[in-house]
Chain A
């Protein structure tokens, strides 16, 4: 389908973006025609979020030019970008949970009119016409927080439409949707395209949106590695371009038959988050916990480490019941937790690599109240070497490291405390492809040393590459336990989304 417009709606030329030494994007060209749906594919850390930030004006490019609607934009910020019709729908939708559907849809439009008073009739008209455009019925007066995920997404799409979107960028649009909801989303996308609205899907799981797209662009490590009509791609070739690998990673070796049970979780329940979570973890074992966004997988992970206090249930480590709801008790029981969001939860970004690694070992290195600095440096350097962190200077701030190395620093912090059980939430989120494989090696290696590991992830290849058993969660419950060695990616995906 060729476009009869001579200018693309979005035209990026030779965009390069560097963050303190890390090249996130390397001379990438990217165009979107009006009414075109483009899949922007790439693994975590490939640069796709950075590209979106540049289009939406959140971050300036280090080099290259950005044109929107045929006009070059040397200065760009989110307001300019939005005025030109670029709307981003983030994974969490950024809706106001306490406002009604109508208010959420019309909010931005009403504000931008600079009218002094709020008129509820106008609000309802705006919302109604946006919903009509995509042919969906949602009660205008219901509060958004009471809606299911798929409907929240529709509200977000309508908000973008009401604000005269020419291009809607959807970040991971399908991660929280069931199969049926994905099909409905596809229908809405077709309708948007007929109206001349362009769509960019940003995702690392694109099979679902491939059939409504015209074009696919694949990024890897900041470079564009493939571009072409969507019809030329399938799940397999996408995966190949995204990872740059053909051979799948080696699956984990077997857990020894006589391995002792390290951790027992019985009847863990928290109203509204998860219920009746029970499982056992053996030494040498890697256990995966997966589920869609909102399935409760992260809440369970936090509960295991005491960050969320469950209403009921017990956690036993090495035969000793651990008090729940207390991270210090969990760490005393030698449970370690590497959180999902490294930047806000995991690391002290402005602090040195040394401090980040040794924060849990300070007391062990105190001599009469004062710290044995040489001992600290020696221990940190040893761990960095073992995890192959490329860091020239342990006193450099941890934010100067790349994503993969940052994740290794977070791992080193817990490994230095000799954990019995290590919980890794999204162990390779935001790291480049090479580091990802290394981190999987580290996981297998640690399990080989007898640590019990729990991997929480929605990255199916990652689970298959590392886990012996995989628990599937939905609506806060464990609905299935799969054998990591015999299950295929397709089976796992179906179990997750059905």
Chain B
């Protein structure tokens, strides 16, 4: 692998801090609720739960690395899922032979991914060619995608899929949950894209200094378009997992995932102003959040309180990461003189 220098001082990286946090949260929850948190059942159920929002967090990560954000990830996920669900319910039924339903399933998956890509092109075009601030462009487009999904379904859940659909969200391969495999594959893919391709390096560089990227004659528009297409396609994969696990698709599933995805990306050390982010950090943040979330669940903390905790966490992490605090600390150590 490439930079030997950075490996040597891994203990100084933000990712190491995250590793410690993940271990601490895991330890804390194990102590607070040893028989339930550490049970095999809970560990498996966690492995099924987190991939869907973790993949959304990966989508968030790549947009944040350009200094942007994608607030439409949940909208894209639901629209993709609804389109896939409509294809499945229209053209296939549970009594169909396996080969035939597999055909319709792959068609539905392809359609969902296309929706993700098209949504990404739209977001990317708004950001790159029209120069809209990503936060507003994707806030608006997210509402549009959700609106389409509502229009297609009348707001109710679409259900009644062939059995094959359940494999995506509930299946296991050699005892490993399929959603976990999907997440791992996407995480590795994104890591390779960001660190090993020309495109990935340009993403970091643009995020670090957009003006310098312009002066370095980088094709910024094409790069941004690709970034949002990747985010859109990742979101649609998350949407398919949600659909499979819920055995239905609805325009307003996973509404709490947006905040969670932003939180995980920021917690994972991705700089919301762009230029820095590592997939390993995001993965560790996902694990911490899942441990925290299951633990709180077992301690019977209400859902509202959980969202409150997430919100506080997000602000806290961002405050800790700002220079303001470092400056404050520096001035405190200077002041005794």
Interface residues of A (CB under 8 A from B): 74-75, 307, 327-328, 330-331, 337, 339, 344-351, 355, 359-360, 362-363, 365-366, 369-371, 373, 393, 395, 413
Identity of the chain A residue whose Cβ is nearest the Cβ of B221 in the assembled complex? A328
Contact with A along B197-233 (1 / 0, CB 8 A): 1100110110011011111111100000000000000
Is A346 touching B215 in the complex (CB atoms < 8 A)?
yes
**Do A349 and B217 form a contact, CB below 8 Å, given A355-B201, A366-B197, A366-B198?**
no
Interface on chain B toward A: helix, strand, loop, or mixed SS? Answer: helix
Which B residues touch A413, using CB under 8 A? 216
Shortest Cβ distance from residue A96 to the other chain B in the assembled complex, whole angstroms: 24
* Residue B275 interfacial (CB < 8 Å): yes
Bound complex: CA of A365 vs CA of B199, how far in Å? 12
Which A residues touch B197, using CB under 8 A? 366, 369-371
Is A330 touching B217 in the complex (CB atoms < 8 A)?
yes
Could you list 6 examples of A-B contacts with CB < 8 Å? Answer: A337-B215, A349-B208, A359-B201, A370-B196, A393-B5, A395-B5
Bound complex: CA of A363 vs CA of B217, how far in Å? 13
Is A351 touching B198 in the complex (CB atoms < 8 A)?
no
Is A350 touching B5 in the complex (CB atoms < 8 A)?
no
Identity of the chain B residue whose Cβ is nearest the Cβ of A370 in the assembled complex? B196
* Residue B276 interfacial (CB < 8 Å): yes
Is A327 touching B217 in the complex (CB atoms < 8 A)?
yes
Bound complex: CA of A307 vs CA of B205, how far in Å? 19
Is A327 touching B214 in the complex (CB atoms < 8 A)?
yes
Is B211 touching A351 in the complex (CB atoms < 8 A)?
no
**Do A347 and B212 form a contact, CB below 8 Å, given A328-B219, A355-B201, A359-B218?**
yes
Bound complex: CA of A331 vs CA of B275, how far in Å? 24
Bound complex: CA of A359 vs CA of B198, how far in Å? 8
Which residues in chain B, 262-279, are within 8 Å of chain A measured between CB atoms? 275-276
Which A residues touch B2, using CB under 8 A? 373
* Residue B192 interfacial (CB < 8 Å): yes
Which A residues touch B215, using CB under 8 A? 307, 327, 337, 339, 345-346
Which A residues touch B208, using CB under 8 A? 348-351
Which A residues touch B337, using CB under 8 A? 74
Is A351 touching B205 in the complex (CB atoms < 8 A)?
yes
Bound complex: CA of A393 vs CA of B216, how far in Å? 23
* Residue B97 interfacial (CB < 8 Å): no
Bound complex: CA of A349 vs CA of B207, how far in Å? 11
Bound complex: CA of A348 vs CA of B205, how far in Å? 6
Interface residues of B (CB under 8 A from A): 2-3, 5-6, 192, 196-198, 201-202, 204-205, 208-209, 211-219, 275-276, 331, 335, 337
Is A355 touching B216 in the complex (CB atoms < 8 A)?
no
Closest 6 A/B residue pairs (Cβ): A362-B198, A331-B217, A348-B208, A327-B217, A348-B209, A395-B3
Which B residues touch A345, using CB under 8 A? 211-212, 215
Is A349 touching B209 in the complex (CB atoms < 8 A)?
yes
Is A351 touching B275 in the complex (CB atoms < 8 A)?
yes
Which B residues touch A360, using CB under 8 A? 216-217
Which A residues touch B198, using CB under 8 A? 362-363, 365-366, 371
Which B residues touch A365, using CB under 8 A? 198
Which A residues touch B331, using CB under 8 A? 75
Bound complex: CA of A328 vs CA of B214, how far in Å? 9
Shortest Cβ distance from residue A244 to the other chain B in the assembled complex, whole angstroms: 32
Which B residues touch A350, using CB under 8 A? 208, 275-276
Which A residues touch B6, using CB under 8 A? 395
Is B196 touching A344 in the complex (CB atoms < 8 A)?
no
Is A347 touching B218 in the complex (CB atoms < 8 A)?
no
Bound complex: CA of A366 vs CA of B211, how far in Å? 24
Bound complex: CA of A337 vs CA of B212, how far in Å? 11
Bound complex: CA of A339 vs CA of B215, how far in Å? 8
A359-B205, A395-B5 provided; 14 other pairs, C-beta below 8 A? A307-B215, A330-B217, A344-B212, A348-B208, A348-B209, A348-B213, A350-B208, A351-B204, A351-B205, A351-B209, A359-B218, A360-B216, A362-B198, A370-B196
Is A344 touching B209 in the complex (CB atoms < 8 A)?
yes
Shortest Cβ distance from residue A352 to the other chain B in the assembled complex, whole angstroms: 8
Which A residues touch B192, using CB under 8 A? 370
Shortest Cβ distance from residue B281 to the other chain A in the assembled complex, whole angstroms: 16
- CB within 8 A of A328: which of B201, B209, B217, B275? B217
Bound complex: CA of A75 vs CA of B335, how far in Å? 9
Is B216 touching A359 in the complex (CB atoms < 8 A)?
yes
Is A355 touching B205 in the complex (CB atoms < 8 A)?
yes
Identity of the chain A residue whose Cβ is nearest the Cβ of B202 in the assembled complex? A362
Identity of the chain B residue whose Cβ is nearest the Cβ of A374 in the assembled complex? B2
**Do A346 and B212 form a contact, CB below 8 Å, given A74-B337, A355-B201, A395-B3?**
yes
Which A residues touch B212, using CB under 8 A? 344-348
Bound complex: CA of A175 vs CA of B213, how far in Å? 30
Bound complex: CA of A348 vs CA of B6, how far in Å? 19
Bound complex: CA of A339 vs CA of B201, how far in Å? 21
Which A residues touch B216, using CB under 8 A? 359-360, 413
Shortest Cβ distance from residue A344 to the other chain B in the assembled complex, whole angstroms: 6
Identity of the chain A residue whose Cβ is nearest the Cβ of B216 in the assembled complex? A359
Which A residues touch B5, using CB under 8 A? 393, 395
Identity of the chain A residue whose Cβ is nearest the Cβ of B205 in the assembled complex? A348
Bound complex: CA of A359 vs CA of B337, how far in Å? 47
Bound complex: CA of A345 vs CA of B197, how far in Å? 24
Bound complex: CA of A369 vs CA of B197, how far in Å? 6
Is B201 touching A362 in the complex (CB atoms < 8 A)?
yes
Interface centre among A331, A337, A350, A369 (most CB of B within 10 A): A350
Which B residues touch A337, using CB under 8 A? 215
Shortest Cβ distance from residue B100 to the other chain A in the assembled complex, whole angstroms: 35
Which B residues touch A363, using CB under 8 A? 198
Bound complex: CA of A101 vs CA of B124, how far in Å? 43
Shortest Cβ distance from residue A40 to the other chain B in the assembled complex, whole angstroms: 27
- CB within 8 A of A371: which of B196, B204, B205, B275? B196
Identity of the chain A residue whose Cβ is nearest the Cβ of B219 in the assembled complex? A328
Which B residues touch A331, using CB under 8 A? 217
Identity of the chain B residue whose Cβ is nearest the Cβ of A326 in the assembled complex? B217
Is B202 touching A359 in the complex (CB atoms < 8 A)?
yes
Shortest Cβ distance from residue A34 to the other chain B in the assembled complex, whole angstroms: 29
Shortest Cβ distance from residue A65 to the other chain B in the assembled complex, whole angstroms: 11
Which A residues touch B211, using CB under 8 A? 344-345
Bound complex: CA of A351 vs CA of B208, how far in Å? 7
